[in-house]
Amino acid sequence: MLEIRDLRAGYGKVDVIRGINLHVAPGECVALVGANGAGKSTTLKCICGLNPVRSGQILFNRERIDGMPGHVIVRRGITMCPEGRQVFPEMSVRENLEMGAHTRGDSNQESDLQSMFDLFPVLRQRERQLAGTLSGGEQEMLAIGRALMAKPKLCIFDEPSLGLAPRVVAEVEQTLRQIRAMGTTILLVEQNAAMALRLADRAYVFEAGEVVLEGTGTELQSNPEVSRAYLGY
């Protein structure tokens, strides 16, 4: 579904990503693991058209999308739940969810919105509440629901557990499992490497803008280098 070939990108004169290669197959959950500044989020921004590509290729369903603007990429079937949630604080929960579907032209938006309320019952209770007044965990659920309202083929998650209490992190992990069970393909960047590797079919380990290891989630959980660097044992 997604293929990245020899991708290079950065900011100013600095290369942050240095020739990475990776792929995501339909129905997979693939995780990108690594320290802060390793290039994971920059990779996601390149996929979504939010950061220019210096060289290399990004293909989605065998068609190049590098160089396309973000709104065109969304219409092709890629959405992102961004780091820090970034809900629209002065809009209601319902309005935020409706914004997720703004590129769609079909008549099923209301039924899909009700499906989001079924997936996240707390959002149904908060339907008319301003998003900026929600708790961090509730805002994360709203950001996930907003991304799903676009009916993506590939849903990208950038640090979904960032800044959340342990109990809420467990809820986010369960939610991602549910989304995958619904058939949505997932690309996940997550600082909580243990959670990411539990969820992932496959994962790539980033260091200094390069992919240094790849394998199944189970393989990388048992890799001594990964254990020491990212799992704390």
Stated pTM of the model: 0.92
Joined together, the tokens standing for residue 135 give 């708790």
Q: Would you state the pLDDT for residue 92?
A: 97
* CATH code for the structural domain at 2-231: 3.40.50.300
Which percentage of the chain shows pLDDT scores above 90?
82
Contact 105, 96 (CB under 8 A): no
Residue-wise pLDDT for 121-169, tens only, equals 999 999 999 999 999 999 999 999 999 999 999 999 999 998 888 999 9
The Cα 22–Cα 2 span in angstroms is: 8
Q: How many Cβ atoms sit within 10 Å of the Cβ of residue 91?
A: 15
